[in-house]
Structure 1
Amino acid sequence: MALRANPTLRQRRLGVELRRMREQANLGGSQLARLLGCAPAQITQMETAKTGISVERLYTIAELCMCTNEPLLNALADIITDRAKPGWWEEYRGVLPTDFLDVAELEGHARELTSFAMAFVPGLLQTQSYANALFTKGLLPLPPQEIDLRTTFRMRRQDVVRSGKTPYSALLHEAALRSQYGGGTVLCDQLTSLVEDSEHPGISIRVVPFEVVGFPLPSEELAHMAGPVPELDTIQADASYGSHLFDSPAQLGRYRATLERIGSIALSETESQDFIRSIMKEMQDRND
């Protein structure tokens, strides 16, 4: 069987969970290979998603590793048997960085989405002009065609929440509402769009004002993609040094708690709408 050249993120996550299952049973790769009656290289290939496995083999491995987490095993079996056509993001493979595709794939399969943004409005809520301004003002200069490509990709990502397919809760720090990446007009349009999005039945937008004191906020922009079971959740953390995905139980627990604490101090949805409108009016008065 030929090895996969470009396994998808879900295929890679299946491999990660297989390795995690084996390690929790204190089995080495060679030990598991002997129990399965295969070569040690096959274990490595399965755990790195270079090759696929059958549902039958999944449950055999689970039995050998004494894993009795039935909801998790059923969710992993669904990944194996998923024969749906490739997601729209696959059109961009080899054209955009893999990180872009991984995030779109996570969002496309998520049960629920939650994010916290401190520096800028999150991508799932950005207007086209705001997104274009962000890519134009990035640390690394990009050619115009690359900026247009990334902006178009970001707009397509928004279908998952604008269609109502996936519930989305966005927590925004006031700083994200005031940063003028594309100038006052672009920001006013973006704030107007946020108010409109906040009225969408599947989108919740809540603001953390500057006046909240004594609460440590993370330095990263965070996104929580809820999987079919909690063990398959993923956290995306964006910082100045790049974007990273986290899926270990300890990391998931830490970031879930962080988002819950931020949610506990954020304004209500109605208060947040009024707050955003007040910033819009302030900017309009300043520009009159």
Structure 2
Amino acid sequence: MALRPNPTLRQRRLGSELRRMREQAGLGGSELARRLGIGPAQMTQMEQARIGVSPERLRMVASACGCSNEPLIDALARMTSERGKGWWEEYRGVLTVDFLEVAELEAHAERITFCTTAYIPGLLQTPAYASAVFARLFPPLPPREIETRTEFRIRRQELIRSGGTPLHTFIHEAALRMQFGGPSVLLDQLRALLDDSERPGISVRIVPFAVDTFPGAGENLTFANGPVAELDTVEVDVSQGALFLESPTDLANHRAIFSRLDATALAEKESRDFIRSIMKEVESSNA
């Protein structure tokens, strides 16, 4: 069986869940391989997502590890049966892998929650605003690269526009005031944000400067809910790209962060009023 040269985010997650299942059972790789009747190298390749795993083999691993979490086992079994490529694969070799993996994460999420401090969440950006965000990077990107990144970001939005995946956003006031592309681009973006906030399945809530503390204030966070809590994922924007967190501790910590945000942010109607007030300020200062 040929080894996968570049396992996808989804494939790597399946492998890490197999490893976590084994470690929770207190088993070494060689011992679990012996129980399954396979070689240690094959066990390692499964956990590294270098080879595929059948639903039957997945259930054999769960049984050998004494795992009785049926919802998790069923969810993992469905992952082993996934076939076909997502639309983002069209951009492989054109954009960096981080872009593709973020789209892959979103496509499989049951619900997506954002916390942003510097800009409007990507899934709610207008084309002009998205282009301006990419244009501000240093060293500057070539115009064609900006165009491709913007096109990719707009295609990601189709998932939300279709209403298939609920989207909850917590946006800091700072992000509402950052003038990527200038005041006219910002005003169009804020109008679009207001329109989106009225769409079914989209929740927009603002955290104003007046709030005393803001958990996660130094990061842009995405919390993607899986079919079961164990398969939730956190994505953190870092200067090097996207960082994906999946350990039980990381998930628990970020659930607490979003819980505090829920208690801190303005309600949806108040948030819309707040956005309108900022629009008036921008219009007044640029009249």
Match of 1:249 in 2: 248
Tell me what 2:175 maps to.
Answer: 176
SS of 1:206's equivalent in the other structure is strand
Preserved contact between residue 129 and residue 180 of structure 2 (Cα < 8 Å): yes
Q: Which range is displaced more, 5-14 or 48-57?
A: 5-14
Return the alpha-carbon distance in structure 1 between the equivalents of residues 191 and 255 of structure 2.
29
RMSD: 1.1
Worse-matched range after superposition: 2-11 or 91-100: 2-11
C-alpha distance after superposition, 1:172-192 (max 9, x if no partner)? 000000011211111111101
Secondary structure in 2 matching 1:21: helix
Residue of structure 2 in register with 1:8 after alignment: 8
**Counterpart amino acid of residue 270 in structure 1:** K
Question: Does the Cα contact within 8 Å between 1:219 and 1:239 map onto a contact in 2?
Answer: no
2:224, 2:234 within 8 Å by CA — same for their partners in 1? yes
Q: What is aligned with 2:74?
A: 74
**Alpha-carbon offset, residue 82 of structure 1:** 2.1
| Residue of structure 2 equivalent to 1:143 | 142
Shift of the alpha carbon at 1:261? Answer: 0.3
Question: Normalising by the residue count of structure 2, what TM-score does the alignment of the two structures yield?
Answer: 0.97
Q: Which amino acid aligns with 1:227?
A: G
Structure 2 match to 1:42: 42
1:234 maps to 2:250: no
Structure 1: runs of 5 or more not aligned = none
Report the equivalent of 1:63: 63
Summarize the Cα distance change of 1:215–1:137 in structure 2 as closer, same or farther, 3 Å threshold: closer
Residue 140 of structure 1: how far off its partner (Å) = 3.1
Residue 232 of structure 1 deviates from its aligned partner by: 0.5
C-alpha separation in 2, matches of 1:2 and 1:262: 46
Asked if structure 2 preserves the Cα contact closer than 8 Å seen for 1:170 and 1:204, the reply is: yes
Q: Is the 8 A contact 1:118 1:172 kept in 2?
A: yes
Over 3 Å counting, the alpha-carbon distance change for 1:3 and 1:217 in structure 2 is closer
1:35 & 1:218 partners in 2: Cα distance?
47
Q: Percent identity over the alignment? A: 59
Alignment of 1:108-147 (within 5 A): 108-147=107-146
- Please tell me the residue identity of whatever aligns with 1:110: A
Distance 2:244 2:102 in 1: 9
Query: How far apart, in 1, do the equivalents of 2:36 and 2:44 lie?
Result: 13
Q: CA deviation at 1:36?
A: 1.5
- Give the direction of change, closer, same or farther, for the CA distance of 1:24–1:128 in structure 2 (3 Å limit): same
Instruction: Tell me the distance in 2 between the aligned counterparts of 1:91 and 1:168.
Output: 25
Look up the match of 1:54. Answer: 54
1:97 aligns with: 96
Following TM superposition, by how much is the alpha carbon of 1:216 offset from its aligned partner in structure 2, in angstroms? 4.3
Q: Return the alpha-carbon distance in structure 2 between the equivalents of residues 7 and 99 of structure 1.
A: 13
Count of paired positions: 287
1:241 positional shift? 4.8
When normalised by structure 1's length, the TM-score is 0.97
Separation in 2, partners of 1:269, 1:249? 30
> What is the letter of the counterpart of residue 181 of structure 2?
G
Q: Which residue of 1 aligns with 2:32?
A: 32
Is the contact made by 2:9 and 2:101 (CA closer than 8 Å) also made in structure 1? Answer: yes
- Larger CA deviation: 222-231 vs 136-145: 136-145
Distance 1:58 1:39, change over 3 A: same
Shift of 1:217: 4.0
| Superposed CA offset, 1:97-139 (max 9, x none) | 1111111011011100101001111101111011101111013
Deviation at 1:243, TM superposition (A): 2.3
Q: Deviations over 1:65-117 (max 9, x none)?
A: 1111100000000011123x311111111211111111101101110010100
Partner of residue 259, structure 1: 258
**Alpha-carbon distance in structure 2 between the residues aligned to 1:259 and 1:149:** 32
Question: Would the aligned equivalents of 1:112 and 1:168 in 2 still touch at CA under 8 Å?
Answer: yes
**In structure 2, distance between residues paired with 1:202 and 1:149:** 28
Secondary structure of 2:26's aligned partner: coil
Taking the aligned partners of 2:77 and 2:213, their CA distance within structure 1 comes to 45
Contact (CA 8 Å) 1:120, 1:176: kept in 2 or not? yes
Match of 2:22 in 1: 22
- Amino acid aligned to 1:128: P
CA distance, structure 1, for counterparts of residue 285 and residue 217 of structure 2: 31
Deviation string, structure 1 residues 129-181 (Cα, Å, up to 9, x no partner): 11101111013321111111111000000111111010000100000000112
The amino acid across from 2:72 in the alignment is L
Can you give the 5+ residue segments of structure 2 that lack an aligned partner in the other structure?
Answer: none
